[in-house]
């Protein structure tokens, strides 16, 4: 079992990811935005963190910046989720570990979780 945190303002995507991963026996927490994200991560202690790049309020890039500057989360596997076309570039430039483009195949999601567990 892997502990996974998903942060996306699109509730459809969050729910889809949660149902898929729970069906594989993982534990999933979803958050609709980045409010108090650092505290939530410290409490939940996820093994993998999925985060949307475009969100109202604090966005994905800022969250990653905060996490990477904290020694406790500097090496946390962070996977960005986005429908943006240049997601690969963004992933590299903002310090994410990997990326999941929208729309995605379920096996792709499972593959990423397996890789970073």
Residues that bind other proteins in the complex, under the rule CB under 8 A: 10, 12-13, 15-17, 19-20, 23, 83-85, 102-106
Q: Which residue, chain included where needed, has tokens 């905060």?
A: 66
Q: How many CB atoms lie within 10 A of CB 10?
A: 15
- Nearest distance in Å: CB 21, other proteins: 11
For residues 10 and 62, which CB has a smaller minimum distance to other proteins in the complex? Answer: 10
Q: Which is nearer to other proteins, 52 or 64 (CB)?
A: 52
Contacts of 116 (CB under 8 A, 6+ apart): 47, 48, 77, 79, 97, 98
Nearer to other proteins, 30 or 68 (CB): 30
Count the residues in the chain.
117
CB 97, min distance to other proteins, A? 20
Burial 77-87 (b: 16+ CB within 10 A, else e): bbbbbbeeeeb
Please, which residue, 94 or 109, has the CB nearer to other proteins? 109
CB of 62 to other proteins, least distance (A): 19
For residue 58, what is the DSSP state? S
The CB-of-45 to other proteins minimum distance in angstroms stands at: 26
């Amino acid at each position: 079992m892997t502990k996974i945190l998903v942060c996306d303002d699109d509730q459809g995507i969050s729910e889809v990811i949660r149902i898929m991963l729970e069906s594989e026996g993982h534990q999933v927490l979803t958050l609709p935005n980045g409010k108090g994200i650092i505290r939530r991560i410290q409490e939940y202690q996820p093994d993998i963190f999925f985060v949307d790049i475009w969100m109202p309020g604090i966005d994905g890039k800022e969250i990653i910046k905060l996490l990477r500057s904290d020694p406790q989360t500097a090496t946390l596997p962070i996977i960005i989720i986005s429908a943006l076309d240049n997601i690969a570039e963004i992933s590299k430039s903002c310090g994410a570990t990997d990326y999941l483009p929208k729309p995605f195949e379920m096996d792709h999601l499972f593959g990423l979780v397996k890789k970073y567990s």
